[in-house]
Amino acid sequence: MTRRFGLKGGLAWLGALTFGVLSEQLKTRRETREAIENTEDVRREDLKTVELPSGVTYVEYTRGGGERVRKQYLCAAKLRARAVSAEEAEAYAYDTESAGREIVWSFGGKLGPPLCRGLEEGVAGMRQGGRRVVRVPARLAFGSDGADFPRGGKIDPDRDVEFDVTLTRVSVPPS
């Protein structure tokens, strides 16, 4: 840079680049702070089960205060999944807390384990910081294939699945 623009020009470019990086960091910190401040737990008497036309149901326990989930946005979440029978729910087959890392995916994009279309329907409309327990019918969960998770977790074929999902980050995808 300094050969082309001289020392002053190089320092000016350095200043401009530094300003850009710092402003992005400050913006991210502000967004994170606002998301935390605007997140609120739903009062027990206000809890209600929402049923979507597809049969997916959810109960929202925490309303997030951050960015709303949108198509192709990157989402990071703490996630627990378990099979549910008519009698009772089983132990969690998958838990990101025990795995030591959150799950990250592109909303509306290519899905990978342990995600399914029914879960995405239940997550639609959430904001960063929100928590929902989403119940997905077998046909929108893993169907006749079932699911095998890391660390030996398994959901048998044709089982309804309950996901406890907390969105920790929602962000615009890199261009």
Residue 123 CA, distance from chain mean position: 8
What does the alpha-carbon distance between residue 108 and residue 122 come to, in Å, rounded to a whole number? 12
Every domain of the chain and the residues it spans: 1-38, 40-171
Asked whether the beta carbons of 164 and 80 are under 8 A apart, the reply is yes
**Where do the H-state alpha helices sit in the chain?**
2-38, 96-99, 117-123
What does the alpha-carbon distance between residue 147 and residue 138 come to, in Å, rounded to a whole number? 11
pLDDT average per 10 residues of sequence, the chain (175 residues): 71 82 79 80 92 95 92 91 78 85 86 77 94 94 83 84 93 76
What is the pLDDT, as a whole number, of residue 144? 86
What is the pLDDT, as a whole number, of residue 174? 72
What is the pLDDT, as a whole number, of residue 112? 61
Asked whether the beta carbons of 64 and 167 are under 8 A apart, the reply is yes
Rg over CA atoms, the chain: 21
Give domain 40-171's CATH architecture.
Roll (3.10)
Q: In the chain, what is the greatest distance between 2 CA atoms, to the nearest angstrom? A: 76
What is the pLDDT, as a whole number, of residue 2? 52
What is the pLDDT, as a whole number, of residue 100? 83
What is the pLDDT, as a whole number, of residue 52? 95
